[in-house]
Chains A and B, each alone.
Chain A
């Protein structure tokens, strides 16, 4: 398979690009919901439009009413989301939760709502300020025919509006994934606005009772399932950062082509040209790494996990470079709220932390490679 988009993927890209630029624009979505201090941080109407466009079902099997496509296609949509900073529950719901529900009887309950853009899902993994999925301490204690969950989660993106949570907790048999519904007794959800105006909830679970049939997959077998869910989400986040970096870079290049100082366009200065060219070079490498990771995920390749870590780390560092150069090259106006470049910087910070930062993934890569 060549490492570029085929015809169908190019069509999807064009559709997603047009849709996100018109319906998911910064002015129309991010700023609007931010300025009204919206508790969800995104628009449910747009999420339903995602459903109408079929985006919500990209990773859902055709037999379940989805498009039966892969992570490459999810990445295509996420790149456009990143480019426009479009707030939506796509990554957590249509990539993370859909991947979690794959093959589970629970999908009949939740997929229809996801497909139509009615249902929002969130992933509850992190328990401290850094991503440490190998050190989850939330307890799942046997109770009746089910479990009782206690502990805390944080950085649960879209958690304030989620209809259900995919929760990772320790049962006696080992790590296990559970579906916990909104409003469950003993569950408290504190919506927390983050720097980029998205919502990352803190959850507190105090003896939340869960039926045995709310277990995703097998009890004690959650580590493999969690890593599958996270790897899909990480590759998706990498694509979103590639899109974000592309948007920030395009904006910065436009500025270099029109801003004049010393009687010249600042884009004529070699000091800026070389930095812009370096950024371009890094960005294309990040783009290739994200696509490669998604192709390997779709092929169910053994090499996918290492490539996902490469993509998340590379896209993260490049996206940070893009927003830092973006703000610096814009000069003073780059520091103003009126200009969008600062919004890119804030979103970049959040996406870098989400599902493991570049240090986490460089370390993961070293472990996978045996050093």
Chain B
């Protein structure tokens, strides 16, 4: 038996023995996700135990080095672990911007001291991070951000405002873009800071969205003192770190195109709700056709995601490929929720009823409209593809 085959068997055995049954049920809503942090809220003991068991093996971040709390797995082993988790419907033990965004940037740009200080706590879910990128006047044109950091000798003094900071009101620390040089061209005066959200002068205000939920905040900095050893990369070279991190953010967002739950097609998940005709086909033929075409796109995209991850791990992916994945994945996710709404009809319009679990389908449908805006709009991604991959002229 090859090493990989025996790894697969060991992994399968371990997952069977250790993944609690509650953690094999499909994710129903936001509260089923575990985000960790200083004030972690666990829905039940199983969720807590699952995080601890996985973190102990380094499997919250299977492909990170063991020294930083990871599992030290090869790309092939990581893929096997994911496949085996999917096979039994095992939930991700930890959702974390530390894992999906900051971690990869620290691994590439952080000092040894920073890696040792921050990464293990990310891996164990002890610190919850948020992202301070967008500002009221720096959205698609992110590099024009104005949050100011002044050199005060032994520390930096930060003043300004961020917006669309996901879960800022629940986060422990922030990774944040600030301007450290106002004279330089806009991309060349930006630095990448890390600081504790409990630092005096940091405040947050949730933003009410069309979904009726508030996953995003405005975040204000009023004379916030940041120690000098909490800058990632060189001063004024934060844009490189920021872009690298954005690639990982886009990669994460593109995963939305895969939908939640294991391998079921959209048609399978909706057919009982819509009903079947005498032949067993979904009753509404026009809707069935729309859904079948969507499933073609969705399953094809799943193959693309597999290819992208394989190529990424092997160092074969184009550096701008996350833009393509983000674009395709988010457009697909929007389409998915349009079809869910169409299939559900007036049932899915209910906003507060228990029957609709507090308007879950409608609120999710509205939430997805932000997918093609956050992390760089679809139009920004298409522009990046045109210039960096297709080498089209101009701008």
Contacts and interface: CB of A to CB of B under 8 A. Distances in A.
Interface in A260-294: 264-265, 267-270, 273-274, 276-278, 280-282, 284-286, 288-289, 291-292
Contacts of A369: 265, 267-268, 295
Contacts of B314: 2, 4
Given A3-B310, A257-B392, A267-B392, A273 B383 contact: yes
A362 interface: yes
Given A2-B314, A257-B391, 12 more contacts: A4-B307, A257-B392, A267-B392, A267-B393, A277-B327, A277-B385, A288-B300, A359-B289, A362-B293, A371-B267, A371-B288, A371-B292
B328 interface: yes
22 contacts: A2-B79, A2-B314, A3-B303, A257-B392, A273-B392, A274-B382, A277-B324, A277-B327, A281-B385, A285-B300, A285-B303, A289-B300, A310-B300, A313-B293, A317-B296, A358-B296, A362-B289, A362-B296, A371-B267, A371-B270, A371-B282, A371-B292
Contacts of B15: none
A227 to B, nearest CB: 19
Contacts of B295: 310, 362, 365-366, 369
Interface string A3-28: 11000000000000000000000000
B117 to A, nearest CB: 34
A370 interface: yes
B342 interface: no
Contacts of B222: none
B292 A365 contact: yes
B286 interface: no
A362 B300 CA distance: 12
B327 A281 contact: yes
B297 A314 contact: yes
Contacts of B392: 253, 256-257, 267-268, 273, 276
B306 A370 contact: no
Nearest to B79: A2
A317 to B, nearest CB: 8
A267 B311 CA distance: 29
Contacts of A267: 392-394
B271 interface: yes
A257 B303 contact: no
Contacts of A278: 327, 382
Q: Most A CB atoms within 10 A — which of B268, B299, B300, B392? A: B300
Nearest to A296: B303
A363 interface: yes
B311 to A, nearest CB: 6
A265 B393 contact: yes
A150 B289 CA distance: 36
Contact of A310 (B282, B299, B307, B393): B299
Contact of A365 (B296, B308, B327, B391): B296
Given A3-B306, A253-B390, A366 B299 contact: no
A306 to B, nearest CB: 7
Given A257-B391, A277-B383, A281-B324, A370 B271 contact: yes
A11 to B, nearest CB: 16
A181 B167 CA distance: 71
A311 interface: yes
Interface residues of A, number: 46
A41 to B, nearest CB: 31
A307 interface: yes
A270 B383 contact: yes
A234 interface: no
A310 to B, nearest CB: 5
Interface of B: 76, 79, 265, 267-268, 270-271, 276, 280-282, 288-289, 291-293, 295-297, 299-301, 303-304, 306-308, 310-311, 314, 316, 324, 327-328, 379, 381-383, 385-387, 389-395
Contacts of B395: 268
Nearest to A279: B390
Nearest to A270: B383
A361 interface: yes
A274 B328 contact: no
Nearest to A309: B296
A268 B304 contact: no
Contact of A276 (B268, B327, B390): B390
Contacts of B308: 288
B299 A273 contact: no
Contacts of A371: 265, 267-268, 270-271, 276, 280-282, 288, 291-292
B291 to A, nearest CB: 7
Interface in A199-219: none
Nearest to B317: A4
A316 to B, nearest CB: 10
A311 B300 CA distance: 7
B328 A281 contact: yes
- List the 8 shortest-distance A-B pairs measured between CB atoms, nearest first: A268-B394, A273-B386, A277-B385, A289-B300, A292-B303, A371-B271, A2-B310, A3-B307
Contacts of A361: 296
Contacts of B299: 289, 306-307, 310, 365
A306 B393 CA distance: 40
A358 B292 CA distance: 10
Given A4-B316, A274-B382, A366-B281, A291 B303 contact: yes
A12 to B, nearest CB: 17
A167 to B, nearest CB: 29
Contacts of B327: 277-278, 281
A4 B316 CA distance: 9
Contacts of A288: 300, 303-304, 306-308
Contacts of B387: 273
Nearest to A274: B382
Interface in A297-333: 306-307, 309-311, 313-314, 317
Nearest to B313: A2
A274 B297 CA distance: 19
Contacts of B281: 366-367, 371
B269 to A, nearest CB: 9
Contacts of A270: 383
Given A270-B383, A311-B300, A4 B390 contact: no
Contacts of B288: 366, 371
Nearest to B76: A2
Given A280-B324, A362-B293, A285 B383 contact: no
A306 B303 CA distance: 13
A18 B268 CA distance: 44
A281 B383 CA distance: 12
A161 to B, nearest CB: 34
